[in-house]
A and B are shown apart, each in its own frame.
Chain A
C-alpha cells in the first residue's frame, strides 16, 4: 500500500480528517493538491550531486512536473554523473552562480553538513524555494538563523526528514495519538552498522572533501547524520520536547583504521518533562541489532522500523482466525499462525506481533546513501508541490528544526560531559503535535 492508497483508505474508514490534522504537511500529497499543480513544472537546481544528490535525482526523473535546469558540484566526477540524467541542465562549480540563474525556482541542497546553513540562507535570500538535506545546520545558532530567515522571507524550506512522509510512521503515530498503545512510557532508538562509513577517495588530497562525515570540522558525525532522523520520534509520539539531554561518545574502533575524529560509538538520553526517557545508541563496528525505533506504551509497543505492534496484553482466546476479525476491523493485514497438523484445542500461540498496516516496507538502515520506500520520494514530491505553489506546509520545518537542535545538543553534551537543556533563545514558537 502506498501513501495515496493509505490516505484514500483512511478516508473511507473515517479518520482522514484526524490524520491530516495530526500531520498537516500531508495536505500537499492529496489528490486535490496534485490537481492544483497539474500541468505545471517546477524548475529545480541541485547543489551537491554526490551520492545523496544522485539518490534524489533518481526520484526526480520519475516526476513529470519537475524540470532540472541546473546542477552544481565542485567535484567534477559527481557533476558529470548527474549531468548524464539532465544533459540540458547548466553546470556550475559554485552554487552562488547557480542561485543567480533566474529560471531556477527551487534548489535541492545535498552538500556536507557544514555548508547547509550558509547555502540555505543564500538560497532563501535569492528567493529560491529550498530543500536542504538534514541536518538543518552545523550549530544551534545556524539552525536558528535558518529558521528565522525562512520566516523573514516567507519562503519555502524543507529539511530532509523523510520519516515525516513515510506511511508506516504516519500510521504508527496516528495509533499512538489515538491511545492504542496506552500511555507512552519510553522511546528507544538505535542504529548499528558495521562499515567504515567511507567513500572511495581517488586521491589522498580529496580525503576530507569526500569523507567529510568523518571529520568534526565538517560534520557532527553520528548525531547529525543518523540520530537526527530518529530523534523526532520522541517529540512526535509524546507531543512535547525533551527537557534535558545527556550522552557519551567515543571512538572505539575506526580511529585505529583511519584519521577520523567523529565518534563511532554514541549513547544519548533525552528526558521529557513527564520523566519519560528517549534513548539513542549507535555503533558502527557491529551490525547485529541493525536499526530500531520503538515507542513503548503501557498497553504495547510499536516498532516504527518494522511497522509492527506488539501487545502487552495476553493473547486473546481463540485462534489466529479470530484475530483476523480484529485486523480487518482495523484495516490491517497480518500473518496469523494457525495452520498445523491438527487442531490444538484452545492453545493458540501468542501473537508474534501484528503489522500496523498492509505491505509495510521495511528498510534496514544499512545503506549509507538512502533507501527506497522510506518517505524520501514523497518528501521530495511535497517539496516540488510547494515550489510550484509557493506555500510552506505547516509544522514540517518545525519538526525538522527540533530534530537537528536536539541532535546537536546531545553531541554537545557528549563533548562537554554535561547534562544540558536547550537554551530559551533556541526555542521557536511551536508546540509539537498532540
Chain B
C-alpha cells in the first residue's frame, strides 16, 4: 500500500499538502495546510503507517488479519484480540444497541433480531460469538473509525486546517478552508452526475452519506431481515464525529422512516437529511427528526 504525496508552497500564506492512498478498499484523500514540506512529509508517513496498521487489523479479506481469525474461530472458542479491535467491537455493540439494531457489523449471520452476536471479555481481551455462522464486517465502521484516529494524529501534529475524504462517503474537516469560514462539500446528485444535490459546510465537523453505491447496487443490509435495503434516497448525517456520522447514516438508511427520528434523537448534536434526487436533476430534501 503506497501513497501519493504532494506539497505546494506557491501560496506562502497557506502551504498546502495532499495525500492520496488506497486503504480498506477505499480511497483516502487528505488536503491540509500550514505545514512546511518536511513536516508534512513526516505526517504523511505517519498517516500511511496508521492506515497500514488498521488495514492489518480490520481487513476481513486478509487471512492473517485478527478480524479474519475472529471470523474463523470465535464461534468455537474465545479469541484474544488486540486493543484496537477490542475497542472497535465494543463501540460496534454500543452503536448496535443505540440504533435499535439497524447498525450491526454482524449482519451476515443467522442471529435473530436484537440478539447479541458476540460477547467481549475485558479480562482476557477476547471475543466469542454467540452462534455459529457469525461473520463480522467492519466495512461500515472502519472509515469513520480511521478518520477519528487521523483527527487525533493531525491535532497532535498541530495541524489546524484539513479536509479528509474517505471513500467519498465519509468526510472529516478540521478547522475551515483557509479562504472561507468552512470547508464546502457538495453531495453529488445521484441521477445527474456533476450536479450538486446539496452543499454541506463543515467546520470542525464531519459528514457521512449512505445510499446505493456507485455501481447502483443496494449494498446496505437490514440487520433485522438480512435483506438489502432498496432505498433510492440518500441519507446524509452531519455532526462532530466522523465515526458517529458513518454509523448513523448506515443505520438511518436501513431503518424504516417511522423509526429514524427516534434513533437520531439519541445522538445530540447530529443532524440528518433524506435527499431525493430526480431524473431531471431535481432535488428534494427532508430533515429527519
Contact = CB atoms under 8 A, between A and B. Distances in A.
A337 B180 contact: no
Contact of A13 (B11, B18, B207, B210): B11
B176 to A, nearest CB: 9
B188 A340 contact: yes
Interface string A296-322: 000000000000000000000011111
B179 A340 contact: no
A344 B168 contact: yes
B120 interface: no
Contacts of A359: 180-181
B180 A338 contact: no
Nearest to A318: B20
A321 B6 CA distance: 12
Contact of A338 (B20, B30, B185, B195): B185
A339 B212 CA distance: 13
A341 B212 contact: yes
Contact of B209 (A339, A345, A347): A339
A1 interface: yes
A1 B179 contact: yes
A303 B283 CA distance: 25
Contacts, number: 136
A344 B163 CA distance: 19
A332 B33 CA distance: 14
A328 B27 contact: no
A341 B180 contact: no
Q: How large is the interface on B (under 10, 10 to 19, 20 to 34, 35 or more residues)?
A: 35 or more
B169 A340 contact: yes
Q: How large is the interface on A (under 10, 10 to 19, 20 to 34, 35 or more residues)?
A: 35 or more
Contacts of A334: 184
Interface in A50-104: none
Given A322-B18, A322-B29, A338 B179 contact: no
A257 interface: no
A340 B163 contact: no
Interface of A: 1, 9, 12-14, 318-322, 324-325, 327-345, 347, 349-350, 352, 357-359
State the 9 A-B residue pairs at the shortest beta-carbon distance, nearest first: A349-B194, A333-B180, A344-B214, A341-B211, A321-B29, A337-B186, A333-B179, A340-B188, A358-B179
11 contacts: A13-B13, A324-B16, A328-B11, A328-B33, A338-B185, A339-B207, A339-B209, A341-B213, A343-B167, A349-B193, A349-B194
